[in-house]
């Protein structure tokens, strides 16, 4: 006997490994344990990397989407401010108020109309906390609020206003309203182009918080809007006392001139989280999306536990295999192999015979249960897919429909209008747009209540659908205002349709107990003679509607060059 063999035999004797069965068992266990642990560790490492990259991508997508939503929200508010600042009511009355030599009898009515207009605009939109008209000296001329509060415009606001540059301030806490707001200002000019002052809109962040709250970030995920210095501006789960008073920890680690990658840190609540920062170019603000670290890596912990369980199961199976004949283990494994191959080929009606009560029998029974579950899941999935297709159709219809009147909503109408403009440029087919407003609707609401007012709007919408063709589009523009698009219709034909609608509304018993006559005013504009873009044609129809209101209501007015010049609407 060789010396090394003797030493090995003595070692085996000391550890009680003289019997061959024990040697086979230990060999089997080591042959199973070493590769299992190695592969499990490698799989765990790759799984962690994959989950980390997946979370980083998800957070990056969320921050980018939230940033786009905020930029779009800000652009919409700026567009609205420019529209209101260019309104004939604002420019004409501000000119009367600030014009040198104007007598008090002229200024007082103009100031009243200006204040009333600002209040009416502020009541329509939840994003507006206050609308203020300031003169060239920076003093407040008119406001939608009950009392005047300091604005805090930048020192160069007048210079930027004269150059038609939008003025946007950093977010701050309004002490009067105890809300976080920002200021957005645009210039006001007379019809002749003379600089009269600025329209200042004090915006809250209610809509922004709703957008941040819709971010799909799991149970512990949150999104925040941050200022340049890391101060929190808005967030769905923020305590009001934290806004503008707490700095996000991300500020200490993110790059000042580029978006940061996924980083781990402790947030201001003391929780361990991972987050991604996305900087916005327009204001220099940023969006942070974060998720709790425990929530993210809980899947990895499950993988670790599953790996250990699999290793233990393999050790048990291999240990038993060392004590039983190869035939008793090969046949059940062969049956499982063939069954798995059939399942891989798509045959889910496989059912293997369960022989014995050992691990192989358990695996066979589990395999049968898994195949049965897959078959049942396949049937249920087909049913769910059918139901989902129906729900998607319903959801698409709801997304383009106004919930109150059943007409198309404003967003869908604008898409259709843009398509009509493109179709005209291809085929030269004209169309007309009607802007419709219910006369004295606010008084009607105040008299009979909002529910009765809503019922009135439904009836008016039903009349619109009855009066137009299937190829035309009627939509609710906002409040008691409606837009109707008449395809391939000249202005004269559009006037006939508008008069028919107006007469039918006046003739119908729409009022409360028929005690108040309900009428509408309509402005009609034709494309392209009254505007060569969706915004221009709507502005022309709106200007004609304004003249219909001004002339006594319950009438139809056609847009014309003179009306556009009078209201300051450019083609």
Digit-coded pLDDT (tens) for 220-232: 888 888 887 778 8
Q: Is the pLDDT of residue 256 over 50?
A: no
The architecture of the domain spanning 61-301 is 2-Layer Sandwich (3.30)
The DSSP element (H or E) to which 181 belongs, if any, is strand 179-189
Residue 53: pLDDT band with limits 50, 70, 90: confident
Q: How many CB atoms lie within 10 A of CB 555?
A: 18
* 277-306: average pLDDT: 79
Q: Which tokens sit at 117? A: 């207009």
* 518-536: average pLDDT: 91
Residue 275's nearest CA partner among 55, 546, 104 is 55
Q: Which tokens sit at 503? A: 């007469």
The DSSP element (H or E) to which 179 belongs, if any, is strand 179-189
Map 238-300 to HEC letters: CCCCCCCCCECHHHHCCCCCCCCCCEEEECCCCCEEEEEEEECCCCCCEEEEEEEHHHHHHHH
| Domain locations along the chain | 61-301, 324-398, 410-567
User: What DSSP designation does 531 have?
Assistant: -
Mean pLDDT rounded to a whole number for the chain = 80
Q: Is the pLDDT of residue 294 over 70?
A: yes
Of 31-35, 297-301, 433-437, the range with the highest mean pLDDT is 433-437
Q: 426 near 491, Cβ under 8 Å?
A: no
Q: Is the pLDDT of residue 522 over 70?
A: yes
Q: How many helices (H) and strands (E) does the chain have?
A: 15, 16
Q: 495 near 477, Cβ under 8 Å?
A: no
* 116-128: average pLDDT: 87
Q: Is the pLDDT of residue 5 over 80?
A: no
Q: What is the pLDDT of residue 377?
A: 77
* 511-517: average pLDDT: 55
Digit-coded pLDDT (tens) for 306-352: 777 777 777 677 766 655 545 455 566 667 778 788 778 877 777 78
Q: What is the pLDDT of residue 340?
A: 82
Cα(458)–Cα(511) distance, integer angstroms = 12
Residue 570: pLDDT band with limits 50, 70, 90: very low
Digit-coded pLDDT (tens) for 410-455: 999 999 999 999 999 999 889 999 999 998 888 888 888 888 888 8
Higher pLDDT, 245 or 442: 442
Q: Is the pLDDT of residue 145 over 60?
A: yes
* 2-30: average pLDDT: 67
Share above pLDDT 90 across residues of the chain, in percent, rounded to a whole number: 16
CATH code reported for the domain at 410-567 = 3.30.70.270
Residue 202's nearest CA partner among 132, 133, 147 is 132
Q: 539 near 530, Cβ under 8 Å?
A: no
Report the DSSP pairing between strands 556-558 and 520-527.
parallel
Report the DSSP pairing between strands 179-189 and 172-174.
antiparallel
Residue 407's nearest CA partner among 488, 466, 448 is 466
Share above pLDDT 70 across residues of the chain, in percent, rounded to a whole number: 84
Distant-in-sequence, close-in-space partners of 156: CB < 8 Å, separation ≥ 6: none
Digit-coded pLDDT (tens) for 54-99: 888 888 888 888 888 888 888 998 999 999 988 888 888 888 888 7
Cα(139)–Cα(153) distance, integer angstroms = 11
Residue 473: pLDDT band with limits 50, 70, 90: very high
Q: Which tokens sit at 167? A: 């003025």
Cα(317)–Cα(35) distance, integer angstroms = 15
Vertex 420: Cα angle to 567 and 463 (nearest 5): 75
The DSSP element (H or E) to which 536 belongs, if any, is helix 534-550
Q: Is the pLDDT of residue 512 over 50?
A: no
Digit-coded pLDDT (tens) for 344-374: 887 777 778 777 666 667 777 787 888 778 7
Q: Which tokens sit at 106? A: 């002229």
* 523-550: average pLDDT: 91
What is the Cβ-side half-sphere exposure of residue 359, based on CA atoms within 13 angstroms? Answer: 14
Strand, coil or helix: what is 434?
strand
Of 140-149, 272-281, 329-338, 516-525, the range with the highest mean pLDDT is 516-525
Higher pLDDT, 242 or 209: 209
Cα(561)–Cα(563) distance, integer angstroms = 5
Q: Which tokens sit at 181? A: 């707001």
Residue 19's nearest CA partner among 28, 7, 33, 9 is 9
Residue 297: pLDDT band with limits 50, 70, 90: confident
Phi first, then psi: give them for residue 220, nearest 5 degrees.
Answer: -100, 0
Q: What is the pLDDT of residue 105?
A: 75
Strand, coil or helix: what is 1?
coil
Maximum Cα–Cα distance across the chain: 128
Q: Is the pLDDT of residue 514 over 50?
A: no
Tokens 């061959």: give the residue.
20
CA 523 from chain centre, in angstroms, equals 33
- State the sign of the Cα–Cα–Cα–Cα dihedral 47, 51, 57, 60: negative
Q: Is the pLDDT of residue 558 over 90?
A: yes
Q: Which tokens sit at 412? A: 């869908």
Q: What is the pLDDT of residue 9?
A: 67
Q: What is the pLDDT of residue 557?
A: 92
Q: Is the pLDDT of residue 11 over 60?
A: yes
Q: 80-89, 171-180, 505-514: which range is least confident on average?
A: 505-514
């Amino acid at each position: 006997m060789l010396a090394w063999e003797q030493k090995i035999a003595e070692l085996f004797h000391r550890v009680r490994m003289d019997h061959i069965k024990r040697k086979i068992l230990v060999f089997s266990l080591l042959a199973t344990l070493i590769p299992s642990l190695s592969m499990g560790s490698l799989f765990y490492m790759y799984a962690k990397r994959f989950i980390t990259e997946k979370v980083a991508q998800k957070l990056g997508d969320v921050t980018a989407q939230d940033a786009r939503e905020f930029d779009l929200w800000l652009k919409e508010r700026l567009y609205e401010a420019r529209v209101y600042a260019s309104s004939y009511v604002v420019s004409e009355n501000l000119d009367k108020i600030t014009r040198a030599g104007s007598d008090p009898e002229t200024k007082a009515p103009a100031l009243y109309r200006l204040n009333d207009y600002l209040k009416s605009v502020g009541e329509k939109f939840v994003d507006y906390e206050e609308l203020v008209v300031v003169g060239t000296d920076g003093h407040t001329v008119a406001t939608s609020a009950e009392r005047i509060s300091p604005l805090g415009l930048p020192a160069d606001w007048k210079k930027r206003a004269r150059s038609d540059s939008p003025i946007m301030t950093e977010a701050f806490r309004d002490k009067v309203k105890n809300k976080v707001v920002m200021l957005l200002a645009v210039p006001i000019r007379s019809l002749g182009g003379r600089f009269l002052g600025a329209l200042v809109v004090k915006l809250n962040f209610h809509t922004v918080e709703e957008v941040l709250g819709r971010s799909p970030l799991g149970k512990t995920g949150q999104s925040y809007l941050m200022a340049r210095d890391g101060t929190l501006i808005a967030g769905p789960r923020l305590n009001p006392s934290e806004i503008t008073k707490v700095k996000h920890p991300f500020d200490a680690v993110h790059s000042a001139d580029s978006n940061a990658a996924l980083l781990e840190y402790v947030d201001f609540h003391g929780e361990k989280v991972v987050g991604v920062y996305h900087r916005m170019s327009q204001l220099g603000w940023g969006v942070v999306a974060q998720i709790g670290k425990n929530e993210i890596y809980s899947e990895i912990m499950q993988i670790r536990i599953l790996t250990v369980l699999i290793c233990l199961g393999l050790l048990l199976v291999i240990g038993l295999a060392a004590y039983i004949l190869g035939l008793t283990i090969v046949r059940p494994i062969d049956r499982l192999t063939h069954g798995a191959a059939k399942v891989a080929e798509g045959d889910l009606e496989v059912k293997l015979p369960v022989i014995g009560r050992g691990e192989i029998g358990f695996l066979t029974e589990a395999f049968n249960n898994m195949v049965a579950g897959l078959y049942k899941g396949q049937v249920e999935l087909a049913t769910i897919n059918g139901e989902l297709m129906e729900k998607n159709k319903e959801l698409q219809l709801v997304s383009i429909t106004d919930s109150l009147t059943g007409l198309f909503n404003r967003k869908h109408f604008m898409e259709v209008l843009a398509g009509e403009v493109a179709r005209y440029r291809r085929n030269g087919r004209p169309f007309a747009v009607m802007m419709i407003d219910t006369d004295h609707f606010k008084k009607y609401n105040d008299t009979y209540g909002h529910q009765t007012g809503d019922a009135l709007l439904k009836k008016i919408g039903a009349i619109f659908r009855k009066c137009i063709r299937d190829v035309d589009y009627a939509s609710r523009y906002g409040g008691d205002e409606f837009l109707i698009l008449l395809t391939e219709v000249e202005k004269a034909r559009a006037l006939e349709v508008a008069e028919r609608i107006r007469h039918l509304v006046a003739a119908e018993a729409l009022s409360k107990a028929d005690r108040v006559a309900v009428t509408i005013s309509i402005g009609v504009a034709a494309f392209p003679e009254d505007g060569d873009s969706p915004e221009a044609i709507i502005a022309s129809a709106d200007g004609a509607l304004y003249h219909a209101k001004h002339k006594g209501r319950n009438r139809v007015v056609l847009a014309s060059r003179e009306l556009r010049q009078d209201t300051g609407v450019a083609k």
